[in-house]
Amino acid sequence: MTVPFTVAAAATAEHQARVAARVKAVEAIMIEKGLMSTEAVDRVAEIYEKEVGPQLGAKVVARAWVDPEFKARLLDNATAACAEFGIGGLQGEEMVAVEDTDDVHHVIVCTLCSCYPWPVLGLPPNWYKQPAYRARMVREPRKVLREEFGYDVPDSTEVRVWDSSSELRYWVLPQRPAGTDGLGEEELAALVTRDSMIGVGPVAAA
């Protein structure tokens, strides 16, 4: 995938480097003063890498692909369906899953800030919070998908943009890829990407 919004990429990278340096400095001071430990820092990182993140949403998607009854519950009430997996809580109190089909492709954005379903997708990527993404995706979604993400949605497919808010957070149930009939849930979940659940990228090839 290409780096989105390359016009601001250099400035963004410089800003991120400054922020990272400040975080490291604060972390070192807190550890030195006994306010936290390196083990605690490692544990927080592990939680977001392995316990809270896109892999949780991927499990939900895989179940929906193989279980029509669960899929119906997910599309009717995503918050309740995710709770069946023990997924929910802060930033995921009210979620809606929107289903991609041959006729309609969905993509999510938050035009006001960066509201995002953290329990299902993990931390939002930096580009999701950028004003350029938030403004342009609403105005010209097909062009942004093609030019910034290298994701070419056919002209015959309608693109619908969903604007998340603090009250309601959307995420995408992508289409199951062809040729995956013999795969189990774990194998299917491994094909689901964060970007496919935001709507800016495809599911990985089987």
Domain limits for position 60:
52-198
- Is 133 among the domain residues? yes
Question: What mean pLDDT is predicted for residues 17-42?
Answer: 75
- Is 167 among the domain residues? yes
- Is 176 among the domain residues? yes
Nearest-angstrom CA–CA distance, 20 and 125: 15
pLDDT for position 5: 54
Tell me: pLDDT of 138 over 80: yes
Q: How confident is the model at residue 15 (pLDDT cuts 50, 70, 90)?
A: low
pLDDT for position 29: 81
The pTM (predicted TM-score) of the whole model is: 0.78
Q: Which residues contact 102 (CB under 8 A, 6 or more apart)?
A: 157, 175
| β-sheet bridge partners, residue 172 | 98
Tens digit of each residue's pLDDT (9 = 90 or more) over 83-112:
999 998 888 899 999 999 999 999 999 999
- Is 74 among the domain residues? yes
Q: Output the domain CATH number for residue 110.
A: 3.90.330.10
pLDDT for position 7: 45
Residues labelled as active-site residues: 110, 113-115
Question: What mean pLDDT is predicted for residues 139-150?
Answer: 96
pLDDT for position 4: 54
Q: What is the rounded average pLDDT for all residues in the chain? A: 87
Tell me: pLDDT of 132 over 60: yes
- What SS3 state is found at 38? helix
Six token digits for residue 126 = 């930096």
- Is 123 among the domain residues? yes
pLDDT for position 36: 73
pLDDT for position 2: 45
- Is 22 among the domain residues? no
Q: At what angle do helices 54-66 and 68-76 cross, to 10 degrees?
A: 120
Quickly list DSSP for 77-138.
Answer: -HHHHHHTTT--STT-SSEEEEE--SSEEEEEE-SSS----HHHH-SPPHHHHSHHHHHHHH
- Is 152 among the domain residues? yes
pLDDT for position 33: 78
Tens digit of each residue's pLDDT (9 = 90 or more) over 49-80:
556 679 999 999 999 999 999 999 999 999 99
- Is 33 among the domain residues? no
Looking at the 3D structure of the chain, how many domains does it have? 1
E strand or H helix that includes residue 28: helix 9-32
pLDDT for position 8: 47
Least confident of 30-34, 41-45, 122-126: 41-45
Q: How confident is the model at residue 18 (pLDDT cuts 50, 70, 90)?
A: confident
Q: At what angle do helices 9-32 and 38-46 cross, to 10 degrees?
A: 140
